[in-house]
């Protein structure tokens, strides 16, 4: 068994979905959460506040520098994630496929060491 | 390597690696053990002559090497225990190779990595051989293989035949890899020669293997038929100066009749199943071409109908282009030209070559000249450039299209 990180790749610019669309997406994501738990593959999941809420800490000599904002401004950012315990990549990819359908967003699948 | 051992190597390498990967779940270990077994074969086979069952000998020897390796490596005790389970080679080796093909062509690997791994693990080609065949620098190719193997291991790409639900998509990836290997050989995208026979032969060998492994998949049969019918025309496709000879001008007496007969048999077998797909339809189009004793006997009506069918299930600009060539044979060059206007194939030399030919036949010499010049500029290999340049300098020669 391996663990996989499924990252939801959110666009940083452009129109956010309407409230009505958002409600549908949330309903689909909640349904997916239930499905991964029922299948016994769920380890952890979560949605994140926008990158503007982030705080970044960097090493500076022996000290640590704290700054307001994400470590890098990009066209996309991590919007949320799902950690699954799967038999192999094929199983992780089949869940990722459902996550794409639920969120209408790209999903990156990466194995844990 | 002595010749008999070399022959066994080419025939049995993929089979042996597949069995070992299945037993030990480790591609590097499997390859290393199989290579050691072939080294041992050079020593132990009397006069380099293989024993009655060379595959069995190689697999057993490789398995023993692998177990020895694991014994020396305590961390792998678990895998060792699994490998000791009794395993029936005869019964399972088909499944093993099928598993390995699906692993090599997994959609989570980049296409160029799929091609390299398939040639390496199933074709038994060495890294320098693959690098030469694909015209990629050897370190680049070696790096691609190492990276792909690490991804298989670290990302947990499984060794198994996909579930039924995933099979169509996964199978199409396997077929695309084999066809890409064939095409890279048949119409080399760059370099001095038009055809690299080693790659064509390897693709056909893989096609035959796939057909034995999946006899009930008509697209597998269709791909094999398509490759055989194209390979059959290979002897007539390049003249003694190394220039491309287009299909209508080829000496059909040079075509390989036995490959054509086999291809036609396979096309008929597909048609009976009545589950058409892109490879089967392309094979059928090639069957119509190879059915005509002379170019002017070609049943263009049938070819247009097949392209219509292909457009319905797998529409693509290249299909539209080929369909226009067939339509031009029935209704004249102007009809063909109308169909290709606005196709998004500006970077594809064949598009400009087809357009140039149609313009020439429509009597629009100045435009034809410009289109030939663009085609020459974009063509990747010498024979095609030579052919197009000669068309350009003899704008009054008989008609011909760039479809070999």
Which residue of chain B has the CA closest to A94? B166
B155–A111 C-beta distance less than 8 A: yes
- Whether B328 is covered by a domain: the verdict is yes
A93–B157 C-beta distance less than 8 A: no
Chain B residues closer than 8 Å to A107 by CB: none
**pLDDT per residue as tens digits for the range A86-98:** 999 999 999 999 9
Chain B residues closer than 8 Å to A110 by CB: 155
Closest Cα in chain B, distance from residue A113 (Å): 7
A86–B155 C-beta distance less than 8 A: no
B88 and B156: one domain?
no
A93–B156 C-beta distance less than 8 A: no
Task: Write phi, then psi, for B242 (nearest 5 degrees).
Answer: 85, 10
B58 and B109: one domain?
no
For chain B, the average pLDDT equals 86
B166–A89 C-beta distance less than 8 A: no
Which residue of chain B has the CA closest to A113? B154
Q: Which of A4, A88, A94 sits opposite B157 (nearest CB)?
A: A88
| Domain finish residue from B93, B121, B149 | B93
Is pLDDT above 70 for A26?
yes
User: For residue B308, what pLDDT is reported?
Assistant: 96
Is pLDDT above 50 for B313?
yes
B285 closest CA partner among B197, B211, B225: B225
Closest Cα in chain B, distance from residue A67 (Å): 34
B298 and B232: one domain?
yes
Please tell me the distance from the alpha carbon of residue B131 to that of residue B116, in angstroms, as a whole number.
9
- Whether B122 is covered by a domain: the verdict is yes
| Domain finish residue from B64, B93, B122 | B93
Chain A residues closer than 8 Å to B170 by CB: none
Please tell me the distance from the alpha carbon of residue B252 to that of residue B238, in angstroms, as a whole number.
13
Domain coverage including residue B245: 216-315
* Count of C-beta atoms within a 10 Å radius of residue B36: 17
**pLDDT per residue as tens digits for the range B69-121:** 888 876 655 555 555 444 444 556 667 888 899 999 999 999 999 999 999 99
B157–A90 C-beta distance less than 8 A: yes
User: For residue B235, what pLDDT is reported?
Assistant: 87
Instruction: Quote the ipTM score.
Output: 0.85
For A10, the enclosing helix (H) or strand (E) is strand A2-11
Which residue of chain A has the CA closest to B106? A90
Q: For residues A6-37, b (16+ Cβ closer than 10 Å) or e, as one string? A: bbbbbeeeeeeeeeeeeeeeeebbeebeeebe
B158–A87 C-beta distance less than 8 A: yes
B156–A92 C-beta distance less than 8 A: yes
Closest Cα in chain A, distance from residue B147 (Å): 15
Which residue of chain B has the CA closest to A2? B156
Q: Which CATH number fits the domain that encloses residue B367?
A: 1.25.40
How many folded domains does chain B comprise?
4
A89–B162 C-beta distance less than 8 A: no
- Whether B99 is covered by a domain: the verdict is no
B217 closest CA partner among B262, B266, B183, B264: B266
Q: How many CB pairs under 8 A join A and B?
A: 29
What DSSP state is assigned to residue B244?
B
For chain A, the structural domain boundaries read 2-13+22-111
Which residue of chain A has the CA closest to B167? A90
| Domain finish residue from B195, B215, B235 | B215
Chain A residues closer than 8 Å to B156 by CB: 2, 4, 86-89, 92, 111
Q: Which residue has the tokens 């199983």?
A: A91
B194 and B233: one domain?
no
Task: Write phi, then psi, for B243 (nearest 5 degrees).
Answer: -90, 150
User: For residue B297, what pLDDT is reported?
Assistant: 93
B162–A111 C-beta distance less than 8 A: no
Range of lowest pLDDT (A64-68, B109-113, B185-189, B285-289): B185-189
**pLDDT per residue as tens digits for the range B265-290:** 999 999 899 899 999 999 999 999 99
Is pLDDT above 90 for B347?
no
Most A-contacting residue of B152, B155, B165 (CB-CB within 10 A), to test interface: B155
Candidates 3.30.70.20, 1.10.10.60, 3.30.70.1060, 3.30.930.10; correct CATH number of A2-13+22-111? 3.30.70.1060
Mean per-residue pLDDT, B121-149: 88
**pLDDT per residue as tens digits for the range B16-68:** 888 888 888 888 899 999 999 988 888 888 777 788 888 888 899 999 889 88
Closest Cα in chain A, distance from residue B158 (Å): 6
User: For residue B195, what pLDDT is reported?
Assistant: 56
User: For residue A58, what pLDDT is reported?
Assistant: 95
B342 and B290: one domain?
no
Closest Cα in chain B, distance from residue A48 (Å): 25
């Amino acid at each position: 068994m391996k663990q996989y990180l499924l990252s939801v790749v959110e666009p940083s610019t452009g129109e956010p979905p309407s409230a009505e669309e958002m409600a549908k997406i949330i309903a689909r994501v909640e349904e997916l959460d239930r499905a991964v738990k029922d299948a016994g593959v769920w380890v952890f999941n979560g949605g994140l506040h926008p990158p503007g809420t982030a705080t970044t800490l960097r090493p500076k000599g022996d000290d640590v520098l704290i700054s307001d904002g994400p470590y890098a401004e990009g066209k996309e950012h991590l919007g949320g994630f799902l950690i699954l315990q799967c038999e192999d990549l094929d199983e992780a990819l089949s869940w990722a496929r459902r996550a794409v359908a639920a969120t209408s967003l790209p999903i990156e699948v990466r194995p844990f060491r | 390597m002595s010749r008999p051992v070399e022959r066994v190597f080419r025939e049995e390498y993929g089979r042996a690696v597949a069995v070992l990967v299945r037993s030990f779940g480790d591609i590097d270990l499997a390859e290393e053990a199989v290579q050691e077994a072939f080294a041992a074969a050079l020593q132990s086979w009397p006069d380099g002559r293989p024993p009655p069952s060379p595959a069995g000998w190689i697999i057993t020897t490789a398995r023993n090497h692998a177990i020895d390796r694991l014994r020396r490596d305590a961390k792998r005790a678990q895998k060792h225990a699994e490998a000791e389970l009794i395993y029936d080679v005869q019964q399972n080796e088909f499944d093993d190779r099928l598993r390995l093909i699906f692993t090599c062509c997994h959609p989570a690997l980049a296409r160029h990595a799929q091609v390299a791994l398939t040639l390496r693990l199933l074709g038994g080609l060495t890294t320098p051989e693959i690098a030469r065949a694909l015209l990629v620098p050897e370190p680049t190719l070696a790096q691609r293989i190492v990276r792909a193997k690490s991804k298989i291991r670290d990302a947990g790409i499984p060794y198994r035949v996909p579930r039924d639900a995933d099979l169509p998509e996964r199978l199409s990836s396997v077929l695309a890899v084999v066809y890409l290997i064939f095409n890279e050989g048949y119409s080399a995208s760059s370099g001095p020669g038009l055809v690299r026979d080693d790659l064509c032969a390897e693709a056909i060998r893989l096609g035959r293997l796939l057909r034995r492994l999946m006899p009930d998949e008509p697209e597998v049969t269709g791909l094999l038929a398509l490759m055989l019918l194209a390979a059959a025309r290979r002897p007539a496709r390049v003249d003694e100066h190394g220039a491309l000879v287009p299909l209508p001008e080829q000496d059909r007496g040079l075509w390989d009749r036995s490959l054509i007969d086999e291809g036609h048999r396979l096309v008929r077998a597909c048609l009976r199943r009545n589950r058409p797909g892109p490879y089967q339809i392309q094979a059928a189009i090639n069957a119509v071409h190879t059915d005509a004793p002379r170019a002017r006997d070609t049943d263009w009506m049938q070819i247009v109908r097949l392209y219509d069918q292909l457009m319905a299930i797998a529409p693509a600009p290249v299909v539209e282009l080929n369909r226009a060539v067939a339509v031009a044979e029935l209704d004249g060059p102007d009809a063909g030209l109308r169909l290709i206007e606005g196709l998004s194939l500006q970077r594809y030399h064949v598009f400009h070559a087809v357009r140039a030919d149609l313009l020439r036949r429509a009597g629009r010499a100045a435009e034809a000249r410009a289109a030939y010049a663009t085609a020459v500029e974009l063509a990747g290999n010498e024979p095609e450039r030579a052919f197009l340049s000669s068309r350009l300098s003899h704008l009054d020669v008989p008609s011909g299209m760039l479809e070999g």
